[in-house]
Homo-oligomer: A and B are copies of this chain.
Amino acid sequence: MSVQSDLGDLKARLREARDISSSAAVLYWDQSTYMPTGGAAGRGRQLAVLSRLAHESATDPEIGRLLDRLAPYAESLPSEHDDAALIRVARHDYERVTRVPAEYSERAAKHASATYAAWVEARPKNDFATMRPMLETTLDLSREYAGFFPGYEHIADPLVDDADEGMTVARIRPVFDELRAGLTPLVARIAAADQVDDGPVRKHFPQAQQSTFAEKVIRSIGFDYERGRLDSTAHPFMTRFGHGDTRITTRTNEDFLAEQLFSTIHEAGHALYEQGTRAEDDGLPLGGGTSAGVHESQSRLWENIVGRSLGFWSHWYSTLQEEFPEQLGNVELRDFYAAVNRVEPSLIRTDADEVTYNLHVMIRFDLELQLLEGELAVADLPEAWHARYQSDLGVRAPDDRDGVLQDVHWYAGSIGGAFQCYTLGNIIGAQLYEAALRELPDIPEQIARGDTSSLLEWMSTNVYRVGRRLTPDQLIQRVCGGPLDAQPLLRRLTAKFEDLYAL
């Protein structure tokens, strides 16, 4: 067999595995958006079968043989050659996935689907009791998963590495500590300052008009509706079925303008990444975000660095006022800007301000580790949640609905590996933005004119089109000229909130 024939065969097999996973993703999307409640049982079965088939396809021993045969060719190439990158990434994925038995994947998918359906009912009813045994099974499944990767230092490491290749608990903790050490005094200085009023965004804003405005914004920053769509779900998410079909979802609170608006920009940020990958990588492992953390860097960058900046609103605010003349006609730009950036320890992660947000994430990360370590029982999780919110943020949810039931992650997947990416994303996003500004110092001025195209193009070239050709560490090193670093995020937050709170 020639190298080219082997490579063609490898690509076809990788594409097929991806096409099966993408089919499952369509079924998940439908389950979250449009499926009637009666469909849950059948959907669980369908997803379990597709999950097993995707697993069989991705673990086909022929892929292993092709990778073995292609290894000398890959070694003969410069490491940045596309074929070398493809073979390296495919080898990485194959080695990880072949350790997980198909039977496990099917069982876990079935459980995740049933748990998600139960959570959709249980959350509004504040019913943790129903979720407890299901979550115990999820924890068992997560431990079982870690067991497929013996030799880890911390039981969460295999789960973390799945989301953020190369990261470990031992590596994340010091970076998070550095961030916390920088954030704590900033939160205290803000608490001591004159508070800002978020009254302007806590009026009644009808859903349809919110959607009209949010759609204008995401169209303007580059979300391509020919290759994507926006729907409503209980918990917003982004999903990619292919280079031509990346979908995002959002949710609306008619009494709080910031929820739908920034959720939509956030998910659009994820989608810009996926829509910005190379068409020729479609269906191949190179064509997609390099890790959950780098992905989150883009959603957080578009949501916060762009979407919550004064410059952005100096362009968009008049359009928003036209949509809501009664609610915002008499609100000054600066007061609106303050309202969407109000810092206050609160209950809901996805509503949290930029400064306290990472405290929410670190609570979850720590609780996940304790659950996996066996230091915390699922039965004690609701109280542990409340206790940590009390100690870290000084607030306590009146119930579990806004406590331990608030995020979908544990109820639709595994425990461990799902949360660190949010804070990694904030860190990396700030690093990437600083790097972009060094090359293109006019970006803030362009944003203030409603033009984000230079920023998008810079991200496309340096991040999106790279896909998985570089690992997160390689990408950060290459693009930012240094390792993962919490300082750019701390610098940015300090400057922004010193100005906003007149510290």
- Name which of A15-23, A203-211, A333-341 contacts chain B: A15-23
Contact in complex: B42, A22 (CB < 8 Å): yes
With a cutoff of 8 Å between Cβ atoms, the chain B residues found around residue A45 in the complex are 15, 19, 242, 283
| Distance of A226 Cα from B37 Cα, bound (Å) | 6
With a cutoff of 8 Å between Cβ atoms, the chain B residues found around residue A24 in the complex are 23
With a cutoff of 8 Å between Cβ atoms, the chain B residues found around residue A36 in the complex are 225-229, 244-245
| Distance of A43 Cα from B240 Cα, bound (Å) | 12
Contact in complex: B26, A229 (CB < 8 Å): no
| Distance of A36 Cα from B49 Cα, bound (Å) | 26
Contact in complex: A41, B241 (CB < 8 Å): no
Contact in complex: B30, A46 (CB < 8 Å): no
Closest to A27 in B: B26
Interface size classification for chain A = 35 or more
A39 CB contact (under 8 Å) in B23, B37, B227: B227
Which of A40, A45, A225 is the most central at the interface, judged by chain B CB atoms within 10 Å of its CB? A45
Interface string of A216-258 (1 = CB under 8 A from B): 0000000011111101000000000111110000000000000
| Distance of A39 Cα from B34 Cα, bound (Å) | 18
Q: Which of A22-77 contact B (CB under 8 A)?
A: 22-24, 26-27, 30, 34-43, 45-46, 49-50, 53
A238 CB, nearest partner CB in chain B, Å: 14
| Distance of A30 Cα from B241 Cα, bound (Å) | 12
With a cutoff of 8 Å between Cβ atoms, the chain B residues found around residue A35 in the complex are 245
| Distance of A119 Cα from B242 Cα, bound (Å) | 22
Between A and B, 12 residue pairs with Cβ closer than 8 Å are: A15-B45, A16-B49, A19-B49, A20-B50, A34-B231, A36-B229, A36-B245, A38-B227, A39-B227, A40-B244, A42-B241, A42-B283
- 8 shortest interchain CB distances as A-B pairs: A42-B242, A38-B244, A39-B245, A38-B227, A19-B49, A19-B46, A23-B46, A38-B226
